[in-house]
C-alpha cells in the first residue's frame, strides 16, 4: 500500500525507441527464462494450488514452458512471430488442462503481435503483456474479480498501456506491469473463485492466492528481468 | 470435609448430602446454584455451612472443572472476530452478528444491528451524513433512537433513479424522521451528464449550502457495495453503464458512490467529475464513519474500504468478518491452548510412491494397461495417450470417445471395449488432454455414423474437447459432446450444469456404449447418454487426501479427526469438513443427499456404485454398501445391481463415493446389454 509516491519517473525521461533489436534466438532465450523461473516456483505454485485446486499448477506451467523451449529450439524457424506460434502449439500439447488452451491463445496473440518481421524490439517485449492478456481473455471467460490469472494479466496490461502513454521506456513499462501484477496477485486473496475448479469451493477459496494469478505474475517478472538484462538499463527508480 | 447437617436438607429431610451427589459438597453446591437457581445464602442454609464456604465451593468447582461456563460458540466467535477486526484495522469499534439466525434476512438483521450502533453513538446537535442502499434503508426503518435535539441528517450524495426504494432521498428522509431530525437533501443528481453541468450546479447557492452542511458531518452511516456482477449496484441505476469503462476495472467496491481499488485507493475515472456528493478525502475527514455491510460477495469491497481507512466503525456478520480476516491472512485461533502434548515432529515429509520418474508415470501406466488388456485395447499410432478398442472402428456405429485427466485409473482406458467406449484419451495427472490426442482418437475410431465425446464437467476438459470438436467438424465429422454432471455436492440443484462429473460417469459410459452397440442413431445415443447423466447422482467423502507423484505431498490438509464431504476426483478439497463419523452415518449422509434430489417413487429401481477413491480398504466399501442397501430397502426402492470397487479413483485418496443411477425401463434394458472391458464386464 501507498507505493504510488515511488512512481515519479516522469514522461520523456526514458528513450521511447531503442536501437536494440532481438531475433528468434532471443525469443528462445526468453522462453528459457520463463521455464527457469516457473521451475523454481514449481513447489510453491503447487502448494497454492493444493489449497484450492489439485496441486498440479506448478508442474503444468513448468513442464509447459520446458516443452516450449524444446520445441522452439528444434523448430527450423528464423522469424520470431512464427516461432511464437510454434511455442503456442507445443505448450498446448504438453499441458492440456485449462492452462494449455489459455496460454496457447496468449502465445498465439503474441505471435500475431510480432507478425512476420525478422526481428523485434524492446517495445514489443513490453507489448507482449497486453497481447498475452488479450489472447487469454479471448479463450477464457473470466472477468475481473473472478480470482483467476486474469486478475493479474488485466491490471498488468493496463499498467503497460498507461506507462507507454506517459512516455515511459519499455523496461519502465514492464516494471509498472510487474508492480501491478504483484498487487493483482495479492488481491486474489480477497476474492471468491467464480470460475474454474476452485469455484466449487465457494467462500473456502478466500484467503488463498490464486495459483494462476501467481504464475502470471512470475511470467511478467520474467519479462521485466529478461529485458533488463538485454538493454542493461540501470535499475533507477526501480519499484519494489 | 465435615458437614453439619442442614435444617432443610433437600431429600426427605435427610441429614446428609443427597446420595446422587456422591458425598461431594462441591457438586451439591454447584447443582443447587446453577441448576436449581438458589442463592448462595439459601444454599448455605440448606447445606448447613457458611455463605463464604458456599462461595469457596463454587469457586473450587469451577477451578476443578466440575462446572464449566460456556459462552455460546456463535457469540464467542462474534466477539473474537469483532476484536480481531478492530485490532487489525485499528477501528473505534466493531460489531459482528451471527450470519444465520431466525427468519429475518441478513440485511434486516444488519439493519437492526446498525440501528442499535447508531442510536448508541448519536448525540444532540449532531450532523449525520447518510448514504443509500438496502442496508441503510433497513437501518432507518428499525432505529429506535434516544430523544435527541437539533440533529441534522444530510444526504451524502445527490439523488438516483426513483426506480429503487432505497434512494439517497428515501434513506435520508426516513432516517431523519426516525431521529426527529431535520433532513437536508442534496438538490442535484448524484451523477450528472458532464463535468460542465456539475461545475454549473456547484455554483448554485442552494446546493453549495447543502454541501457545506454535508462537510460539517460529525458522523456518517453508510453501506458498502460490491462490484461483482451479482451485486445490486448494477440494477440500482447509480452507475448508468459508466462502470463498464476501462477506468473502473481496478475497482472492487463502491462507497459513497465513489470507487475504490483492492488497496483502498480511489479509482478515478470519467464519472469522478460528474459525481455530486461527498468525495473520499472528505469522507476520511468525517470523525466517525460507520459502515454496515455483510455478505460473502462483499468481502473484497469491505476489505478495500477498511484498507483505505474509510471506515472506523464496522457492523458486519460472522461469515463476512471471517472472510475479511482470512483474506488478510488471519487464522482462527483455538479458544484454549490444545491439551494434547506436543506431537513429535513428523518423521516423514513425503508420501511413499511406487513409481519411476514422476513425469513418466502416466505413460508407463498406459503401457502397462495396454499389455495387461491386449485382447481388448490397442494403442493409436503417433499418440501415446490414446487407447482404442480392438474392434474399432465399426462402420455405421456411433463411436464413443471418453477421456479426462490421468490419475482416475482404471478410468478411462478401463471402459474401452465392446459395448462400451471405442476410445479413451488421457491427459497429464488431473489435467485434461490437449486437443491433438482427442483428434487422433476421433479419427481412429470414426465409423462414419458420428462421434460422441463423454467427459466430466471441468473447464479444462470442456475447452480442449471443444477445440478438438471444432477441428473434427471442419473435417466433416459430426461430433456431439455429453458433459457429465453427476456430483451433487459440487453445486446446488438450480445450477446443475455447473456440477462436476465424477464416478457416475461409469453409468453414462455404459448406457451410451450400449446404445451405440445396438446401432442406434447419433441422436438417440446422445439423448440416452444425456438421460443417463441426468438420472445419475454421486456424492463422495474422503478420510485422507491423495498425493500427486510429482509433489508427494497430501493435496490438502485434513485434521486427525476430520473427514471431507463432497470431494471431487482431483484431490481438490470438498465442500464441507466434518468430524469423522461411523460407516453407517456416512452412508446415510451420502444416500440422504442423493435421495433428496432423486425423487424416486416406491418400487423404483436403481443401480449402485460404491467407488473407491484410491486407497480405502475393500471391507469398508462393503460395510457402506450394506447400509445403503438397508436404507434403500426401507425406502421401498429396488436395487438392480451393485458395483463395489475402484472404478474411478483419485490417485491414493482414502475415501469413497456413492453413485445411484435412477433406472427406468429404457435405462435398465441398456444397462443389461453385455459389455466387455478391463474394468467392467457385464453378461
Within a domain: A182:
yes
Q: What percent of chain B has pLDDT over 70?
A: 90
Rounded Cα distance between A23 and B379, Å, is: 41
Model pLDDT, residue A67: 94
Q: Which residues of A touch B491 (CB under 8 A)?
A: 200
Rounded Cα distance between B568 and B321, Å, is: 28
Model pLDDT, residue B7: 44
Q: How far is CA B500 from CA B26, B48, B245, B415, B456, in A?
A: 57, 69, 35, 19, 6
Give yes or no for residue A84 having a pLDDT over 60: yes
Model pLDDT, residue B15: 54
**Most trustworthy range by pLDDT among A110-119, B53-62, B319-328:** A110-119
Structural domain count of chain A:
1
Average pLDDT over residues B307-316: 94
Give yes or no for residue A235 having a pLDDT over 60: no
The 10s digit of each residue's pLDDT in B606-627 is: 999 999 999 999 999 999 999 9
Query: What ipTM was assigned to the predicted interfaces of this complex?
Result: 0.75
Average pLDDT, rounded, for chain B: 88
Q: What does the CA dihedral A31, A34, A35, A41 come to, rounded to 10 degrees? A: 180
Give yes or no for residue B389 having a pLDDT over 50: yes
The 10s digit of each residue's pLDDT in B458-467 is: 888 999 999 9
| Contact yes or no for A94 and B434 at CB 8 A | yes
Selected from 3.30.300.180, 3.40.640.10, 3.30.1310.10, 3.30.1180.20, the CATH number assigned to the domain covering B536-663 reads 3.30.1180.20
Give yes or no for residue B424 having a pLDDT over 70: yes
Enclosing domain of residue A151: 22-231
List B residues 330-369 in contact with A (Cβ-Cβ < 8 A). Answer: 359
Alpha helices in B475-582 (DSSP H): 505-517, 522-534
Residue A185 sits in a domain whose CATH number is: 1.25.40.340
In this chain, the answer to whether the domains covering B1-69 and B78-220+275-327 adopt an identical fold is: no
Half-sphere exposure of B125 (CA within 13 A, CB side): 0
Active site residue B247: no
- Report the residue of chain A nearest B577, measured CA to CA: A204
Rounded Cα distance between B589 and B143, Å, is: 43
Range with the lowest mean pLDDT among A1-10, B330-339, B340-349?
Answer: A1-10
| Contact yes or no for B227 and A43 at CB 8 A | no
Within a domain: A7:
no
Active site residue B570: yes
Selected from 1.10.490.10, 1.50.10.10, 3.40.50.1360, 3.40.1280.10, the CATH number assigned to the domain covering B78-220+275-327 reads 3.40.50.1360
Name the band, by pLDDT with cuts 50, 70 and 90, for residue B588.
very high
Q: Grid coordinates representing A217?
A: 505474475
Model's pTM, two decimal places?
A: 0.70
Rounded Cα distance between B30 and B17, Å, is: 13
| Contact yes or no for B262 and A183 at CB 8 A | yes
Range with the lowest mean pLDDT among A70-79, B437-446, B488-497, B672-681?
Answer: B488-497
Whether residue A202 lies within 8 A of chain B, CB to CB, comes out as yes
Model pLDDT, residue B246: 62
Rounded Cα distance between B583 and B203, Å, is: 75
- Is residue B577 classed as helix, strand or coil in its secondary structure? strand
- Report the residue of chain B nearest A45, measured CA to CA: B551
Name the band, by pLDDT with cuts 50, 70 and 90, for residue B555.
confident
The Cα of B300 is separated from the nearest Cα of chain A by a number of Å equal to 5
Give yes or no for residue B337 having a pLDDT over 50: no
Q: Which residues contact A108 (CB under 8 A, 6 or more apart)?
A: A84, A85, A88, A135
Q: Regarding the domain with residue range B358-532, which homologous superfamily does it belong to in the CATH classification? A: Dihydroxyacetone kinase; domain 1 (3.40.50.10440)
Q: What is the dihedral sign for C-alpha A18, A20, A26, A30?
A: negative
Within a domain: A236:
no
Q: What percent of chain A has pLDDT over 90?
A: 59
Answer whether CATH 3.40.50.300 is correct for domain B1-69.
no
Rounded Cα distance between B412 and B157, Å, is: 60
| Contact yes or no for B464 and A47 at CB 8 A | no
The Cα of B473 is separated from the nearest Cα of chain A by a number of Å equal to 19
Model pLDDT, residue B4: 45
The 10s digit of each residue's pLDDT in B431-445 is: 899 999 999 999 999
Where are chain B's structural domains?
1-69, 78-220+275-327, 358-532, 536-663
Q: Beta B258-261 vs B288-292: how paired, if at all?
A: unpaired
Name the band, by pLDDT with cuts 50, 70 and 90, for residue B240.
low
Give yes or no for residue B584 having a pLDDT over 80: yes
Give yes or no for residue B219 having a pLDDT over 70: yes
Whether residue B201 lies within 8 A of chain A, CB to CB, comes out as no
Q: How far is CA B578 from CA A216, B137, B338, B541, B542, in A?
A: 35, 38, 19, 10, 11
Range with the lowest mean pLDDT among A5-9, A114-118, A145-149, B4-8?
Answer: A5-9
Candidates B572, B577, B653, partner chain A, best to mutate (most A CBs within 10 A): B572
Amino acid at each position: 500500500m501507498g507505493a504510488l509516491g515511488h512512481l515519479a519517473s516522469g514522461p520523456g525521461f526514458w528513450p521511447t525507441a531503442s536501437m536494440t533489436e532481438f531475433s528468434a534466438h532471443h525469443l528462445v532465450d526468453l522462453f528459457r527464462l520463463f521455464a527457469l523461473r516457473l521451475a523454481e516456483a514449481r513447489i510453491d505454485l503447487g502448494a497454492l494450488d493444493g489449497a484450492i485446486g489439485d496441486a498440479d499448477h506448478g508442474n503444468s506451467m513448468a513442464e509447459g514452458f520446458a516443452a516450449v523451449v524444446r520445441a522452439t529450439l528444434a523448430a527450423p524457424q528464423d522469424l520470431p512471430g512464427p516461432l511464437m506460434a510454434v511455442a503456442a502449439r507445443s505448450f498446448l500439447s504438453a499441458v492440456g488442462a485449462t492452462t494449455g488452451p489459455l496460454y496457447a491463445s496468449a502465445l498465439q496473440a503474441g505471435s500475431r503481435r510480432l507478425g512476420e518481421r525478422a526481428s523485434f524490439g524492446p517495445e514489443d517485449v513490453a507489448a507482449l503483456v497486453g497481447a498475452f492478456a488479450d489472447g487469454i481473455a479471448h479463450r477464457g471467460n473470466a472477468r475481473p474479480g473472478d480470482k483467476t490469472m486474469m486478475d493479474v494479466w488485466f491490471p498488468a496490461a493496463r499498467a503497460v498501456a498507461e506507462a507507454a502513454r506517459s512516455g515511459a521506456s519499455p523496461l519502465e513499462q514492464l516494471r509498472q506491469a510487474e508492480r501491478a501484477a504483484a498487487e493483482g496477485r495479492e488481491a486474489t486473496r480477497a476474492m471468491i473463485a467464480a470460475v474454474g475448479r476452485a469455484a466449487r469451493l465457494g467462500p473456502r477459496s478466500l484467503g488463498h492466492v490464486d495459483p494462476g494469478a501467481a504464475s502470471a505474475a512470475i511470467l511478467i517478472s520474467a519479462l521485466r528481468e529478461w529485458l533488463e538484462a538485454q538493454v542493461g538499463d540501470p535499475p533507477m527508480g526501480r519499484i519494489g | 470435609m465435615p458437614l453439619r447437617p442442614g435444617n432443610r436438607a433437600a431429600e426427605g429431610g435427610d441429614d446428609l448430602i443427597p446420595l446422587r451427589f456422591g458425598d461431594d459438597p462441591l457438586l451439591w453446591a454447584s447443582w443447587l446454584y446453577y441448576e436449581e437457581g438458589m442463592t448462595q445464602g439459601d444454599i448455605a442454609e440448606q447445606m448447613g455451612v457458611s455463605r463464604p464456604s458456599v462461595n469457596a465451593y463454587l469457586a473450587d468447582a469451577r477451578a476443578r472443572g466440575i462446572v464449566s461456563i460456556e459462552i455460546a460458540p456463535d457469540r464467542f466467535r462474534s466477539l473474537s472476530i469483532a476484536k480481531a477486526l478492530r485490532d487489525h484495522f485499528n477501528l473505534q469499534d466493531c460489531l459482528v452478528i451471527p450470519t444465520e439466525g431466525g427468519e429475518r434476512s441478513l440485511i434486516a438483521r444488519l439493519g437492526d444491528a446498525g440501528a442499535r450502533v447508531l442510536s448508541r453513538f448519536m448525540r444532540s446537535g449532531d450532523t449525520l451524513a447518510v448514504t443509500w442502499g438496502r442496508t441503510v434503508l433497513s437501518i432507518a426503518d428499525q432505529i429506535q433512537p434516544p430523544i435527541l435535539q437539533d440533529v441534522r441528517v444530510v444526504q451524502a450524495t445527490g439523488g438516483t433513479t426513483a426506480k429503487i426504494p432505497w434512494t439517497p432521498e428515501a434513506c435520508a428522509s426516513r432516517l431523519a424522521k426516525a431521529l426527529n431530525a431535520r433532513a437536508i437533501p442534496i438538490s442535484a443528481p448524484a451523477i450528472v451528464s458532464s463535468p460542465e453541468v456539475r461545475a454549473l450546479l456547484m455554483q448554485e447557492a442552494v446546493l453549495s449550502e447543502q454541501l457545506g452542511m454535508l462537510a460539517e458531518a460529525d458522523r456518517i452511516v453508510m453501506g458498502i457495495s460490491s462490484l461483482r456482477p451479482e451485486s445490486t449496484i448494477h440494477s440500482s441505476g447509480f452507475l448508468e453503464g459508466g462502470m463498464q469503462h476501462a477506468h473502473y476495472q481496478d475497482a472492487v467496491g463502491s462507497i459513497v458512490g465513489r470507487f475504490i481499488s483492492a488497496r483502498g485507493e480511489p479509482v478515478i475515472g470519467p464519472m469522478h467529475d460528474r459525481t455530486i456528493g461527498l468525495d473520499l478525502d472528505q469522507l476520511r475527514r468525517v470523525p466517525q464513519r460507520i459502515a454496515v455491510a455483510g455478505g460473502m460477495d462483499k468481502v473484497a469491497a469491505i476489505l478495500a474500504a477498511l484498507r483505505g481507512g474509510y471506515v472506523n466503525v464496522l457492523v458486519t456478520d460472522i461469515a463476512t468478518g471471517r472472510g475479511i480476516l482470512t483474506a488478510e491472512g488471519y487464522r482462527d485461533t483455538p479458544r484454549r491452548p490444545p491439551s494434547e502434548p506436543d506431537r513429535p515432529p513428523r518423521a516423514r515429509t513425503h508420501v511413499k510412491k511406487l513409481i519411476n520418474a514422476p513425469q513418466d508415470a502416466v505413460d508407463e501406466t498406459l503401457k502397462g494397461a495396454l499389455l495387461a488388456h491386449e485382447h481388448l485395447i490397442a494403442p493409436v499410432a503417433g499418440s501415446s495417450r490414446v487407447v482404442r478398442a480392438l474392434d474399432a472402428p465399426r462402420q455405421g456405429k456411433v463411436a464413443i470417445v471418453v477421456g479426462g485427466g490421468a490419475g482416475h485409473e482404471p478410468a478411462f482406458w478401463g471402459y474401452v471395449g465392446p459395448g462400451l467406449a471405442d476410445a479413451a484419451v488421457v491427459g497429464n495427472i488431473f489435467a485434461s488432454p490437449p486437443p491433438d490426442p482427442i483428434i487422433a482418437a476421433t479419427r481412429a475410431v470414426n465409423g462414419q455414423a458420428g462421434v460422441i465425446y463423454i467427459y466430466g464437467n471441468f473447464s479444462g476438459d470442456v475447452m480442449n474437447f471443444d477445440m478438438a470438436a471444432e477441428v473434427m467438424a471442419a473435417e466433416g465429422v459430426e461430433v456431439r459432446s455429453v458433459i457429465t454432471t453427476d456430483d451433487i455436492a459440487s453445486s446446488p440443484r438450480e445450477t446443475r450444469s455447473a456440477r462436476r462429473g465424477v464416478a457416475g460417469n461409469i453409468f453414462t459410459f455404459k448406457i451410451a456404449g450400449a446404445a451405440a452397440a445396438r446401432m442406434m442413431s447419433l441422436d438417440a445415443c446422445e439423448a440416452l447418454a444425456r438421460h443417463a447423466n441426468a438420472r445419475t447422482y454421486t456424492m463422495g467423502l474422503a478420510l485422507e487426501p491423495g498425493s500427486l507423484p510429482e509433489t508427494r505431498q497430501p493435496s490438502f490438509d485434513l485434521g486427525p479427526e476430520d473427514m471431507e464431504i463432497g470431494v471431487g476426483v482431483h484431490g481438490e478439497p470438498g465442500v464441507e469438513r466434518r468430524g469423522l463419523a461411523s460407516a453407517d452415518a456416512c452412508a446415510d449422509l451420502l444416500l440422504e443427499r442423493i435421495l433428496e434430489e432423486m425423487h424416486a417413487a416406491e418400487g423404483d429401481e436403481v443401480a449402485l456404485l460404491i467407488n473407491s477413491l484410491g486407497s480405502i480398504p475393500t471391507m469398508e466399501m462393503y460395510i457402506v454398501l450394506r447400509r445403503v442397501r438397508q436404507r434403500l430397502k426401507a425406502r421401498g426402492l429396488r436395487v438392480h445391481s451393485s458395483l463395489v470397487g475402484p472404478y474411478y479413483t483419485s490417485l491414493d485418496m482414502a475415501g469413497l463415493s456413492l453413485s445411484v443411477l435412477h433406472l427406468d425401463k429404457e435405462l435398465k434394458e441398456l444397462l443389461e446389454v453385455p459389455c466387455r472391458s478391463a474394468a467392467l464386464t457385464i453378461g
